[in-house]
């Protein structure tokens, strides 16, 4: 997902064009008050053009260099005497960090011990959307523009009203065991060190709620994310295979399913909800291995919720898949009774 959507790219282009127009207007306004400055600028441009001609002719550059230095000295003096900013003739970008290009050299680095607790140092930094060849990453200004698009495409519309703002431990029957999990995920999100997470426990214990809280927070900070229930995810992978084997597939359906599959494989954060409730399928193991494997290779974060305990996971899934879940995911058990039942008891609804 290291590409800027066309709509966002057009916004950046419009910003650059507006900056250029503002620059031209600013120069004209200053020249109208300071015609001597306009004359100096024109003389410098002419001298530099003459220097290029001398270079092409293989001539001596001493005279040209002396002239340019003198003209630039006069210009600097004029700017100082008239209190004109030395960069008055440069565009002022909307975003000074990327100059409205949308990309910056990645400044993600390992935080010092004072910023990250020692036990967290072993968690990998979330280095998303970084071009490994150039070391560039999306600028924050682009991420801010992407938030509405990411929210629209995330699947979070199926989970309305779920966020950290609405989280409460009031209905948890074992609050002392939930609090450390909540504190952990809030912390790793704040320092951009979110690991792969496996939330397991009985139905209604808050696994999906907390996973969605994490996803919403990250998307609202400009990271791409997608939530999908395990049965729907398997359906998407199956339909993708069918479409690619079809001689003449429906182009609209092909585009939709291919796009959903890309979200599953490439979103910076993926929530797989209710792993284990999907019907047993011939390709389930291969698909899950591919999804988790590709996401591990591409350093994408996967958050899985399941009603199965670890022993049941081992019985249901292939040993290779179980090994990846055990070796590459932080595992948290959600204990206690069904929150929905507890809520009815407490609120009397």
Q: Does residue 127 fall inside a structural domain?
A: no
The confidence score (pLDDT) of residue 238 equals 96
| Same domain (yes/no): 169, 45 | no
The confidence score (pLDDT) of residue 110 equals 45
| Same domain (yes/no): 229, 334 | yes
| Same domain (yes/no): 155, 59 | no
Higher pLDDT, 21 or 246: 21
The confidence score (pLDDT) of residue 349 equals 57
Domain count, the chain: 2
Rounded Cα–Cα distance for residues 157 and 212 (Å): 11
Rounded Cα–Cα distance for residues 162 and 147 (Å): 17
Q: Does residue 128 fall inside a structural domain?
A: no
The confidence score (pLDDT) of residue 114 equals 47
pLDDT digits (tens, 9 = 90+) for 63-91: 999 999 999 999 999 999 999 999 999 99
Kindly tell me if the per-residue pLDDT of 300 is higher than 80.
yes
Confidence of residue 247 (pLDDT cuts 50, 70, 90): confident
Asked if residue 265 lies in contact with residue 301, where contact means CB atoms within 8 angstroms, the answer is: no
Rounded Cα–Cα distance for residues 20 and 345 (Å): 64
Region 258-274: mean pLDDT is 97
The Cα angle at residue 174 between residues 169 and 175, in degrees rounded to 5: 35
pLDDT digits (tens, 9 = 90+) for 210-242: 999 999 999 998 899 999 999 999 999 999 999
| Of the candidates 100, 133, 129, the residue with the CA atom closest to the CA atom of residue 13 | 100
| Same domain (yes/no): 75, 147 | no
Rounded Cα–Cα distance for residues 270 and 260 (Å): 12
Do β-strands 301-306 and 330-334 pair in parallel, antiparallel, or remain unpaired? Answer: unpaired
| Same domain (yes/no): 33, 150 | no
- 290 is in which domain, residue-wise? 139-347
DSSP bridge pairs for 198? 304, 331
| Same domain (yes/no): 153, 56 | no
Q: Does residue 124 fall inside a structural domain?
A: no
Q: Does residue 252 fall inside a structural domain?
A: yes
Local structure of 87: helix, strand or coil: coil
The confidence score (pLDDT) of residue 116 equals 44
Q: Does residue 266 fall inside a structural domain?
A: yes
Per the listing, tokens 């193991």 go with: 285
| Same domain (yes/no): 175, 247 | yes
CATH number at residue 307: 3.40.50.300
Q: Does residue 47 fall inside a structural domain?
A: yes
The confidence score (pLDDT) of residue 236 equals 98
pLDDT digits (tens, 9 = 90+) for 187-216: 988 888 899 999 999 999 999 999 999 999
Kindly tell me if the per-residue pLDDT of 1 is higher than 50.
no
Q: Does residue 181 fall inside a structural domain?
A: yes
Local structure of 332: helix, strand or coil: strand
Sorted by sequence, the CB contacts under 8 Å of residue 309 that are 6+ apart come out as 200, 201, 333
Q: Does residue 110 fall inside a structural domain?
A: no
| Same domain (yes/no): 188, 320 | yes
pLDDT digits (tens, 9 = 90+) for 104-150: 886 554 444 444 455 555 666 665 556 667 778 888 899 899 999 99
């Amino acid at each position: 997902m290291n590409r800027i959507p066309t709509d966002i790219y057009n916004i950046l282009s419009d910003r650059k064009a507006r900056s250029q127009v503002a620059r031209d207007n600013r120069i004209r306004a200053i020249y109208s008050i300071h015609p001597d400055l306009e004359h100096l600028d024109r003389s410098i441009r002419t001298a530099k053009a003459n220097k290029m001609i001398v270079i092409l002719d293989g001539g001596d550059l001493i005279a040209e260099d002396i002239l340019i230095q003198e003209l630039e000295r006069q210009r600097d003096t004029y700017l100082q005497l008239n209190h004109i900013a030395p960069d008055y003739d440069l565009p002022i970008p909307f975003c000074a960090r990327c100059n409205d290009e949308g990309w910056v050299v990645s400044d993600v680095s390992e935080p010092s011990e004072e910023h990250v607790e020692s036990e967290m140092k072993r968690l990998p930094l979330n280095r998303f959307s970084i071009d490994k060849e150039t070391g560039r990453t999306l600028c924050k200004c682009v991420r801010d523009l992407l938030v509405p698009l990411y929210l629209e495409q995330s699947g979070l519309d199926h989970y309305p009203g779920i966020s950290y703002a609405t989280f409460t431990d009031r209905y948890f029957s074992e609050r002392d065991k939930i609090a450390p999990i909540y504190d952990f995920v809030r912390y790793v999100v704040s320092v951009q060190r979110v690991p792969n997470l496996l939330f397991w426990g009985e139905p209604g214990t808050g696994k999906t709620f907390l996973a969605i809280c994490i996803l919403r927070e990250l998307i609202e900070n400009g990271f791409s994310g997608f939530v999908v229930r395990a049965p729907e995810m398997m359906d998407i992978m199956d339909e993708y295979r069918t479409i690619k084997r079809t001689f003449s597939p429906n182009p609209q359906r092909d585009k939709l399913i291919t796009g959903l599959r890309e979200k599953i494989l490439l979103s910076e954060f993926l929530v797989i909800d209710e792993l284990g409730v999907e019907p047993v399928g011939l390709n389930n193991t291969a698909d899950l291995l591919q999804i988790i494997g590709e996401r591990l290779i591409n350093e994408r974060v996967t958050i899985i919720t399941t009603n199965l305990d670890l022993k049941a996971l081992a019985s249901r899934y292939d040993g290779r898949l179980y090994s990846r879940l055990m070796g590459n995911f932080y595992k948290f058990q959600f204990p206690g009774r069904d929150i929905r039942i507890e809520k009815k008891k407490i609120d009397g609804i």
